[in-house]
A and B are shown apart, each in its own frame.
Chain A
């Protein structure tokens, strides 16, 4: 109940900060792509539109997750709104979880509206079958999960660091997160026990964003562009991973927060 009140207020803040204006940019991109790309890519319009649309959903979402995520806690501290809030009967974990869920609601709204825009663009370009249009949904869902993890990373940094550093760290981890599995493979190739151990630790500690962008050794966006199904097991695994990894990060953020003096 209190978590939801905090989440609702965070969502309201995002809306009033006009974050959803990025949708206008997305709409322009979709309109342009359907006008221009169709003529450049004979017979592959749909593929290109899906590719561009899903990539945009991921990029716009990631930017929001990082840049709003790093301010979630920091803004409350900087503007001193947190003093009155934490003097209310609110546990620190409720505050952290509420802020997190608030941004997830914003991201969800963003992703849903963009997906609808993508489907509309496809429909306007000659249309696709219902089956094919539904095949985009798992890809979009996986993108949303990657945003959920990115938000948790940004929030964790924002619980103890400045926005500039938090943005840098989060972006850095997001990039590494795409090559995490390669890191492990590379270490195995070196056949050095220490390297393997270090890589193993990093593999589990760093966010594994490739869990959401790659399913069955194929890029999720590419699979979606060819309207190929994504295995349910891969989606289920990614869901568990996102849930567990975010929960651990939020728990760490709460622990940091519990020991913090609000001077």
Chain B
């Protein structure tokens, strides 16, 4: 069952001071997210990711189309009892301590003591903020703010959690902590919908992804379908090669890159690999490595966005 449904979601923003004209931020987006999956929402800056998330949170109204979360319209206040949301570059009341913020947020869910106190303590521990619980948020580092942001989104043990760029601006350690938190949510059975530019993280976490560019959906599907295990080419590295042998190898391969005493060759077709290796070995070179090249999500993303998207 689709937990998050979007149908023809369109948003035009009016820009200009005197002569207002609409700018389309989101263009007929139709997308569904299934229960229990980790869904990656990708796209360059200005693609419409944050706009989509804000529509799903009822913070902005779509110009056209509709969206449901957990079977209820996104404007439903009661539905928000069951979801969590971490905004992009979050900012919280900096005069509160970590503990006070979470207690405040818990109170908005109607949680009461002592259950609320226990939940706050365990969340702070889980996200590595146990020592900072009495610290005012104005003293928090960016990574700590991101983690308290996750904590406030998780206070109600949500069934669906929406994270807008949860890893942006974090150091590798912070990213790993956020990654672990997302995996923790998945293991608990929650559905995670998150936007990101950090593609290796998306590749490591997501079951399915959607790629958005200029407000339009470019691609959506299971990660392994999108990145079909298709070997694009082989990369061969040779050592102990003379100038003549290099000249002899050039016609056999697609690309030659000298790397100091070594030579890196790229072969598009499998039989090229055999030809190159037998030629090189016959002329006294030694084989260092042969590696198949698979497209990464990053390659795919560049292809979709930089190639097709910016025409």
Give A contacts to B, CB under 8 Å. Answer: 1-2, 5-6, 8-9, 12-13, 16-17, 79-81, 83-91, 261-263
- Given A83-B59, A89-B81, A262-B54, 16 more contacts at CB 8 Å? A1-B107, A2-B108, A9-B96, A12-B96, A80-B89, A81-B92, A83-B85, A84-B90, A84-B92, A85-B108, A87-B162, A88-B105, A89-B109, A90-B77, A262-B59, A263-B60
Which of A12, A89, A263 is close to B77, meaning CB atoms less than 8 Å apart?
Answer: A89
A12 and B95 CA atoms in complex are apart in Å by 9
A86 lies within 8 A of B104 (CB): no
Judging by beta carbons under 8 Å apart, are A84 and B78 in contact? no
- In the complex, which residues 98-115 of chain B have their Cβ closer than 8 Å to any Cβ of chain A? 100, 104-105, 107-110
A8→B57 CA distance, assembly (Å): 25
Shortest Cβ gap from A163 to chain B (Å): 18
Within 8 A of A (CB), among B39-68: 54, 57-61
Binding site for A on B (CB under 8 A): 13, 54, 57-61, 77-78, 80-81, 83, 85-87, 89-93, 95-96, 100, 104-105, 107-110, 149, 152-153, 162
12 contacts between A and B (CB under 8 A): A1-B107, A2-B107, A2-B108, A2-B110, A12-B100, A79-B91, A83-B85, A84-B85, A84-B92, A84-B153, A85-B108, A87-B162
Total A-B pairs, Cβ < 8 A = 79
Q: B63 → chain A, closest Cβ, in Å? A: 10
Give every chain A residue within 8 A of B86 (Cβ-Cβ). Answer: 84
Query: A84 and B152: CB pair below 8 A?
Result: yes
Closest approach, in angstroms, between the C-beta of B69 and any C-beta of chain A?
11
Q: Is the CB of A86 within 8 A of B90?
A: no
Q: Report the Cα distance A39→B61, complex, angstroms.
A: 66
B154–chain A nearest beta-carbon distance, Å: 12
CB-based nearest B residue for A4: B107
Taking a contact as CB atoms under 8 Å apart, the answer to whether A89 and B59 are in contact is no
Question: Which of A89, A261, A262 has the largest number of chain B CB atoms within 10 A?
Answer: A89
- Bound-state CA distance A261–B59 (Å) is 6
Query: Which one, A17, A79, A89, A261, contacts B108 given CB within 8 A?
Result: A89
Q: Is the CB of A87 within 8 A of B57?
A: yes
Q: How far is the CB of B76 from chain A (nearest CB, A)?
A: 9
- Asked, given contacts A1-B107, A5-B108, A89-B109, whether A13 binds B95 with beta carbons under 8 Å apart, the answer is yes
By beta carbon, the residue of chain A nearest B110 is A1
Q: In the complex the two chains form, what is the Cα distance from A85 to B77 in whole Å?
A: 12
B95 x A16 contact (CB < 8 A): yes
Can you name the residue of chain B whose Cβ is closest to the Cβ of A98? Answer: B108
Residues of A within 8 A of B81 (CB): 89
From the candidates B78, B91, B152, name the one contacting A89 in the complex (CB within 8 A): B78
B91 near A87 with CB under 8 A, answer no
Closest CB-CB distance, B137 to chain A, in whole Å?
10
Contact of B87 among A1, A17, A80 (CB under 8 A): A80
CA distance A12 to B59 in the complex (A): 26
A94 smallest CB distance to B (angstroms): 9
The residue among A8, A12, A87 with the most chain B CB atoms within 10 A of its own CB is A87
Complex Cα spacing A89 to B58, Å = 11
**Chain B residues near A84 (CB, 8 Å)?**
85-87, 90, 92, 105, 149, 152-153
Return the chain A residue nearest B100 by Cβ.
A12
Give Cα A89–Cα B78 distance, bound, in whole angstroms. 6
Asked if B13 and A83 sit within 8 Å, CB to CB, the answer is no
Closest residue on chain A to residue B55 by CB atoms: A261
Q: Across chains A and B, which 8 residue pairs bring their CB atoms closest together, nearest first?
A: A5-B107, A87-B85, A261-B60, A16-B95, A83-B87, A262-B59, A89-B80, A87-B57
Question: Which residues in B have their C-beta under 8 angstroms from that of A87?
Answer: 57-59, 80, 83, 85, 87, 162
The distance in angstroms between the C-alpha atoms of A262 and B85, with both chains bound, is: 15
Q: Which residues of A contact B54 (CB under 8 A)?
A: 83, 262-263
Cβ contact within 8 Å between B104 and A9: yes
Interchain CA distance A85-B149 in the complex, whole Å = 12
Query: In the assembled complex, which residues on chain B have CB atoms less than 8 Å from the CB atom of A262?
Result: 54, 59-60
The CA-CA distance from A91 to B77 in the complex, in Å, is 7
- A13 to B95 Cα, complex, angstroms: 7
Specify which chain A residues have a CB less than 8 angstroms from the CB of B77 in the assembled complex: 89-91
Q: Name the A residues within 8 Å of B105 (CB-CB).
A: 84, 88
Expressed in whole angstroms, the Cα–Cα distance for A91 and B89 within the complex equals: 24
Contact between B61 and A261 (Cβ–Cβ < 8 Å)?
yes
